[in-house]
A and B are shown apart, each in its own frame.
Chain A
């Protein structure tokens, strides 16, 4: 049973426009959500996170929105740049539960920024 779902395997966006990546989760115990960016043959790098006590977190061009009632979060990238082309993973954790068992990841969305 997949607890974190990214239903779009790929997304193509024109340079300068907004990229919106979506993620849904099913486990009500999740209270901390993260986005990671991954280039081929490299480890994922942390991008941005949000706690369940917030509904929005912003860091430069990246904004994460959390809708707890819908169990949905999204990552907005504005404006999109060629270097943003990568696979983006949504991840979730139960920090209040200790968090020792790591993060549960979605399958990823391959973002392609078109020049």
Chain B
């Protein structure tokens, strides 16, 4: 069966510090991968998606970047965090051509 894991689960970082959130999927090949953010009162906002290794599409201009160094690994990064980067970050995967997404457990980021 397929599983998705992301870490760390909780992170408290000072403004201006770097960020790295990791996500891995097991039990499937060639998944589409996604990073979403849930900010207070704003629902789930798509940040990045990837259809293959090294292929990243960005949905919104922001202070963050994403990379896919391996087929089932997706990384969310920032060089310098802003207060507005605080939120609940969710990694997800899907089978190509199918609409349903499967989400990880989420990572709570607090920038102080």
Contact = CB atoms under 8 A, between A and B. Distances in A.
Interface of A: 6, 9, 32, 34, 36, 41-46, 49, 89, 91, 93, 95, 98-108
Nearest to A33: B99
23 contacts: A9-B41, A41-B106, A43-B92, A43-B106, A44-B44, A46-B101, A46-B102, A89-B43, A91-B101, A99-B94, A100-B51, A100-B96, A101-B49, A102-B32, A102-B34, A102-B92, A102-B94, A103-B46, A103-B101, A105-B36, A105-B45, A107-B42, A108-B44
A81 to B, nearest CB: 23
Q: On chain B, which size bracket covers the interface?
A: 20 to 34
A43 B94 contact: no
Interface in B50-101: 51, 57, 59, 88, 90, 92, 94, 96-101
A103 B90 CA distance: 13
A99 B51 contact: no
Q: Give the secondary structure class of B's interface.
A: strand
Contact of B99 (A6, A45, A93): A93
Given A43-B90, A102-B32, A102-B34, A95 B46 contact: no
A44 B38 CA distance: 11
Contact of B43 (A32, A43, A101, A106): A106
Given A43-B90, A44-B44, A103 B99 contact: yes
